[in-house]
Structure 1
Amino acid sequence: MKKSTYMDRAMRAKDPRFAAILGKLGYERTDLRADDAAEAEAKELAQLRDRYQEIVGKRAYHGWNADTLREKIAEAAE
């Protein structure tokens, strides 16, 4: 029979509360840690959206990616 203790079930859970507690105990899961590249990309996208709003005067469409926003900003700046 397979061993199934509280710690085993907690390590398999995707609940962020378990990640915080187990991380403090030294049992960090790599799939529950924030990705630095994704955070940097999201920060850049937020800056581009703010820049677009300053130039155009309207909020950027939420479906536009960073490349599209750069193009729209360049068009509006001309």
Structure 2
Amino acid sequence: MKSNYLTRAMNARDPRYAKIAKKLGYGHRDVQAKPRKPVDDMKALRARYVKVVGKKPYHGWDADTLRTKIAEAKG
């Protein structure tokens, strides 16, 4: 789900926005967020990437991407 003004307003839990959103048909949430990886795992992966590649990883990479980049650098 893209973030726009209405979704940010609904996340703010302001009852006025919730009332308007409900009238527009956005009163329920049917999209679930993905569970995040533990932070410790990401710190370890980033440290391993620095050790293998020699430079810091891109901050937007997830754990799977880091694992593949590490495997590519080793292979």
- Which letter does structure 2 place at the counterpart of 1:51? R
CA distance, structure 2, for counterparts of residue 60 and residue 54 of structure 1 = 11
Moved over 6 A (4+): none
| Structure 1 equivalent of residue 62 of structure 2 | 65
Q: Which runs of 5+ in 2 are unaligned?
A: 1-34
Size of the alignment, in residue pairs?
41
1:20-66 deviation line (CA, Å, top 9, x unaligned): xxxxxxxxxxxxxxxxx86x710000000000000000001000000
| Structure 1 equivalent of residue 42 of structure 2 | 45
Q: Which runs of 5+ in 1 are unaligned?
A: 1-36
- Which letter does structure 2 place at the counterpart of 1:64? W
Report the structure number with the largest CA radius of gyration.
Answer: 1
CA distance, structure 1, for counterparts of residue 70 and residue 38 of structure 2 = 18
| Structure 1 equivalent of residue 51 of structure 2 | 54
